[in-house]
Structure 1
Amino acid sequence: MIQSLLRKWNLSRLKDKKYLYLFGEEPKDEYVCLDCETTGLNPKKDEILSIGAVLIKENRIIMRKTFNVFVKPSKNVTAESIKIHQIRPIDLENAITPKEAILELLEFIGSRPIVGYYIKFDMAIISKYTKQIIGVKIPNRMIEVSSMYFRTRHRHSEYEFVDLKFDTIMKTLNIPELGKHDALNDAIMTAMMFLKLREMTPAKSTFYEG
């Protein structure tokens, strides 16, 4: 009920009816897995540097349907942040504007649910841009792979620690590592996690969030 009201309120704030498709019916058994590289971990003040995404359809990762862009920041990236995201100034020479990147991303996503690892952060920072551009937060439903993974762990008590680090989940699920950790590779690896975990948690209600 609350989600329905929030969705209606969000829809009422949409600036351009061209983007009504974001609120449309979800395509059957289709998802978009995405990952963002950013200047930091504060969605309110930090910026997106790159976005990688891939389409999942009927238990398959559609590698011919990928999205991979670099995004121009408003100021130069710092040497300290480069150590984290590994994106150098030379990588951003042909980057596109945030508006171009976000509008292309929305077209790629459509009304599909969005899968990710700690996806609430990615959705929060993307929504910072969509609110400026089209007036609303991105309305798509979220699916969090770390929550799916958590539910597959057998614990002796509810207080037992579960390691939810990306690399730990990869290793436990025997997912191959795809070279360097960039936005597109991380999106593809997260998509592989999702498909494997979905086999282990077939009740869809156990892993949907958002």
Structure 2
Amino acid sequence: MNWLSRLFNRAPAVELAPELSARLDRWQALPAADLGQSHYRSRYVVVDVEASGLNMGKDRLISIGAVAVTNGVIDPADSFEVILRQDVVSDTENILIHGIGGQAQQGGVDPAEALLAYLDYVGKDPLVAYHALFDKTMIERAMLRYLGKKTDHAWIDLAWVVPELYKDLLDGHVGLDHWLALFGIENILRHNAVSDALATAMLLQVAMAKASVRGSETPQSFIEIEKARRWLRRSA
């Protein structure tokens, strides 16, 4: 069992207030997303997080930003952002990266409330990120700590999907900024969770169009593309 598996299997006992527990129960009762529907009949939620550092085992989740792509369309009003209240403010170097100052961190939303608001927003829809392992790990660690649960969302990592779809343009794994520049996508405020999620959502639209042309027309097809590319990378 690797360190990530051990981490996720240590579910602490968390006693939630009745109203919070009821909200979590309502979310758990939602039906699973249909991953076999067309991209253009699906709701994807693109997620980006800011944290106190890059250590997935030790650093803390500070904020979550999310933008929905519904039936292929981005509605700027259909977005989400929350700052989780921090007992200990992250260091100055970290604050200079994401711009969430000490006062904003200490004045954030109660973490359990923030995570439940996030779950209310994303529902059971497939989640998308670029280099998704970090975002997924930070969110799941916070879920275990504050809600005592881990979620079972389908995650799609564009860092694997886009290079497969556009290997004639850029071969190999590169940073998000390379793809944004290639397709003329502007990231208005780098290292802001919502701005990063919005730019990634635009990249998702590009991937959806290319995938549909080649017959990969569903969220499940993205998952299969990612699995196949990961397998090829391990086998190389």
TM interval, shorter chain, is 0.7 to 0.9
Per the alignment, residue 32 of structure 2 pairs with 25
Give, as a single letter, the amino acid of the residue that structure 1 aligns with 2:153. Answer: N
Q: Verify: 1:185 aligned to 2:192, yes or no.
A: no
Question: For 2:137 and 2:148, how far apart are their aligned partners in 1?
Answer: 14
CA displacement at 1:93 relative to structure 2: 4.9
Q: Verify: 1:74 aligned to 2:99, yes or no.
A: no
Q: Which moved more, 1:160-169 or 1:113-122?
A: 160-169
Contact 2:160 2:173 (C-alpha < 8 Å) held by counterparts: no
Q: How many equivalent residue pairs?
A: 194
Secondary structure in structure 1 of the residue aligned to 2:79: strand
Per the alignment, residue 3 of structure 1 pairs with none
Give, as a single letter, the amino acid of the residue that structure 2 aligns with 1:91. Answer: A
Cα shift readout 1:7-57 (whole Å, capped 9, x = no counterpart): xx9xxxxx86333235x2216511111110000112221111111111110
Over 3 Å counting, the alpha-carbon distance change for 1:88 and 1:17 in structure 2 is closer
Over 3 Å counting, the alpha-carbon distance change for 1:129 and 1:196 in structure 2 is same
- Find 1:100's aligned residue among 102, 110, 113: 113
Q: Verify: 1:88 aligned to 2:98, yes or no.
A: no
Secondary structure in structure 2 of the residue aligned to 1:43: coil
Per the alignment, residue 231 of structure 2 pairs with none
Aligned-pair identity (%) = 26
Secondary structure in structure 2 of the residue aligned to 1:52: strand
Contact 2:163 2:171 (C-alpha < 8 Å) held by counterparts: no
Q: What is the alpha-carbon root mean square deviation over aligned residues? A: 2.7
Query: Unaligned stretches of 5+ in structure 2?
Result: 1-8, 10-20, 35-40, 228-236
Per the alignment, residue 63 of structure 1 pairs with 76
After the TM superposition, list the runs of 4 or more consecutive aligned residues in structure 1 that deviate by more than 4 angstroms. Answer: none
Question: For 1:179 and 1:77, how far apart are their aligned partners in 2?
Answer: 20
Q: Tell me the TM-score normalised to structure 2 length.
A: 0.73
- Find 1:46's aligned residue among 59, 76, 81: 59
Question: For 1:139 and 1:193, how far apart are their aligned partners in 2?
Answer: 24
Contact 1:55 1:66 (C-alpha < 8 Å) held by counterparts: yes
CA displacement at 1:165 relative to structure 2: 0.7
Q: Tell me the TM-score normalised to structure 1 length.
A: 0.81
Alignment map for 1:141-160 (pairs within 5 Å): 141-151=154-164, 152-154=166-168
Give, as a single letter, the amino acid of the residue that structure 2 aligns with 1:149. Answer: V
Question: For 2:147 and 2:104, how far apart are their aligned partners in 1?
Answer: 28
